[in-house]
Structure 1
Amino acid sequence: MTYESFAYWYDKLMNEAPYDAWQSFVQKKLKQYGRQGAKRILDVGCGTGELAVRLAKEGFLVTGVDLSENMLAIAQAKAEAQQVNIEFFQQNMTELEGFSSFDCVTIFCDSLNYLLEESEVRQTFSRIYELLKEDGLLLFDVHSTYKMDHIFQDAIFTSNDEEISYIWSCYPLSLPHSVEHELTFFVRGDDGKYERHDELHRQCTYEIDQYKQWLTEAGFTVLEITADFTDEAPSETSERVFFVAKK
């Protein structure tokens, strides 16, 4: 799954995304688990580099990976504008290569949910395990099964803005806890006319115990599972589940 024209409007559409909360989560967990001296972070599914840039400005040595060439072009321009040095690479998270010795790997904004095969998730965990230093941390979040089955299923979300508007429709897939996002957005040009763009995104998630099993099989020790940017364990209606695992 790669973002095409959508990449150029991603930041506009995501202007309320909790990047500050993701950044705080990373710094809090590194401190909480005795990794205050951690410097090297690999941001997987980095998108337009919003989190990577924020972490770099805090003094971390950040590498960003994403599948979308368009996203990475925006991320590189953003890093240059903010005068931070970040290396960006176009790679599939299931096939990460050419890296080593990271203190921390992050996969946020439900990027892991774009993997539709169980084998892909397991392979991603295995690759990340190899890239981490001993005692290095993997931090990631995923959509809960509740969100996929009850909030997204057959839902329609809309936004009407003068510059860009969208209609976001969700449909169930044949896989358990999966959904297809059909996004149509209309972008206002300099001539005042609107241009239509269409994107199709598919996501899948799994039960918490399944993620725990795959992490353990990859060699990780699961340190913590919380929900919705809190320190609380996930409930039946939690929407975003956070994992902290150690090599």
Structure 2
Amino acid sequence: MSYERLAYVYDLLMADVPYKKWLDYLLLEKQRFHIDGMRVLDLACGTGELSILLAKNGFDVTGVDLSGDMLMVAQGKAEREGIELSLYEQNMSELEGLGIYDIAVIFCDSLNYLSTPEDVQKTFSNVHAHLKNGGLFIFDVHSPYKMEHIFMDETFAVAEEEVSYIWNCFPGEHSYSVEHELTFFVREEQSGKYERFEELHKQRTYLIEEYQSWLEDVGFSVEAITADFTDQFPVESSERIFFTCKKK
């Protein structure tokens, strides 16, 4: 998956994404589990919106993303805001050499972009290796319900002056997987004409029990499983599942 062209319009498309909710969720879990340290590893940080919010709230943030283009956008935004971020281009299933952290996060369903159970398991193992003993790992994923009843065979569209898109969702090759076919129309500043480009994004999720088993296998204790930015355990129609884990 390439974000080369998408990176520069990503923030326009994600304008309504509730980054503040992820920040608030992290702050609540940090307080609830008495984590004093402020070093955060923000995996799949994208264009740095959450990383910058974290830094503004006093955290020492390291952001990691697979896309160098996304990181370039993040770096530019941080510099304009006078924010210091450490940014690295790495695959979260192949992390290495990033130091030890108090908290690690993978938010905005980014874990669902990993294509195999093995990649998810390797990511959990790598996160474990980069956390201090007692450190927190917090992440969210799409629920199977969302994959099968919200995304599946649906079409979404947005028409704005600067960027418009058509988003078609198709069944993936595995259970609880979806292929997102996106066609973008981006207005060129000088000519006023619209450039068309396409992206194919694949996401896959798993049952709660599978995530829990993989986390425990690498040495995490699963402290909380909640849904949709609440403190409630998921129900059948929950869309976003949160896991809070602690390194034993």
Shorter-chain TM-score bucket reads over 0.9
Distance 1:100 1:152 in 2: 37
* Secondary structure, aligned partner of 1:244: strand
* Secondary structure, aligned partner of 1:104: strand
* Secondary structure, aligned partner of 2:182: strand
Counterpart for residue 28 of structure 2? 28
Counterpart for residue 140 of structure 2? 141
Counterpart for residue 182 of structure 2? 183
Distance 1:131 1:4 in 2: 28
Instruction: Kindly state the Cα deviation for residue 162 of structure 1 after the two structures are TM-superposed.
Output: 1.2
Instruction: Kindly state the Cα deviation for residue 197 of structure 1 after the two structures are TM-superposed.
Output: 1.3
* Secondary structure, aligned partner of 1:175: coil
Instruction: Kindly state the Cα deviation for residue 177 of structure 1 after the two structures are TM-superposed.
Output: 0.3
Runs of 4+ in 1 over 2 A off after TM superposition: none
Asked if structure 2 preserves the Cα contact closer than 8 Å seen for 1:159 and 1:167, the reply is yes
Deviations 1:38-64 (A, max 9, x none): 210000000000000010011110000
Counterpart for residue 152 of structure 1? 151
Counterpart for residue 6 of structure 1? 6
Distance 2:29 2:79 in 1: 28
* Secondary structure, aligned partner of 1:234: coil
Distance 2:25 2:77 in 1: 22
Counterpart for residue 229 of structure 1? 229
* 2:66 is the alignment partner of 1:70: no
Instruction: Kindly state the Cα deviation for residue 2 of structure 1 after the two structures are TM-superposed.
Output: 3.1
Kindly report which structure 2 residues correspond to 1:1-247, keeping only aligned pairs within 5 A, or say none: 1-35=1-35, 37-190=36-189, 191-247=191-247
Distance 1:23 1:150 in 2: 28
Asked if structure 2 preserves the Cα contact closer than 8 Å seen for 1:95 and 1:124, the reply is yes
Instruction: Kindly state the Cα deviation for residue 192 of structure 1 after the two structures are TM-superposed.
Output: 1.9
Distance 2:37 2:209 in 1: 29
Q: What is the CA RMSD across the aligned residues, in angstroms?
A: 0.7
In the alignment, residue 99 of structure 1 is paired with which amino acid? L
Distance 1:173 1:50 in 2: 29
Distance 1:81 1:139 in 2: 28
Asked if structure 2 preserves the Cα contact closer than 8 Å seen for 1:2 and 1:67, the reply is no
Distance 1:194 1:2 in 2: 20
Instruction: Kindly state the Cα deviation for residue 109 of structure 1 after the two structures are TM-superposed.
Output: 0.6
Instruction: Kindly state the Cα deviation for residue 100 of structure 1 after the two structures are TM-superposed.
Output: 2.3
Distance 1:38 1:243 in 2: 20
Q: Which runs of 5+ in 1 are unaligned?
A: none
Q: Which runs of 5+ in 2 are unaligned?
A: none
Instruction: Kindly state the Cα deviation for residue 73 of structure 1 after the two structures are TM-superposed.
Output: 0.2
Task: Give the length in aligned residue pairs.
Answer: 246
Distance 2:161 2:98 in 1: 43
Asked if structure 2 preserves the Cα contact closer than 8 Å seen for 1:100 and 1:130, the reply is no
Instruction: Kindly state the Cα deviation for residue 150 of structure 1 after the two structures are TM-superposed.
Output: 1.1
Between the aligned residues of both structures, percent identity stands at 53
Asked if structure 2 preserves the Cα contact closer than 8 Å seen for 1:43 and 1:62, the reply is yes
Instruction: Kindly state the Cα deviation for residue 145 of structure 1 after the two structures are TM-superposed.
Output: 0.3
TM-score, with normalisation over the residues of structure 2?
0.98
TM-score, with normalisation over the residues of structure 1?
0.98
* Secondary structure, aligned partner of 2:122: helix
Instruction: Kindly state the Cα deviation for residue 193 of structure 1 after the two structures are TM-superposed.
Output: 1.1
In the alignment, residue 229 of structure 2 is paired with which amino acid? F
Asked if structure 2 preserves the Cα contact closer than 8 Å seen for 1:215 and 1:222, the reply is yes
Distance 1:143 1:230 in 2: 15
In the alignment, residue 136 of structure 2 is paired with which amino acid? L
Deviations 1:194-239 (A, max 9, x none): 1101111000000001000000001000000000001111010000
* Secondary structure, aligned partner of 2:9: helix
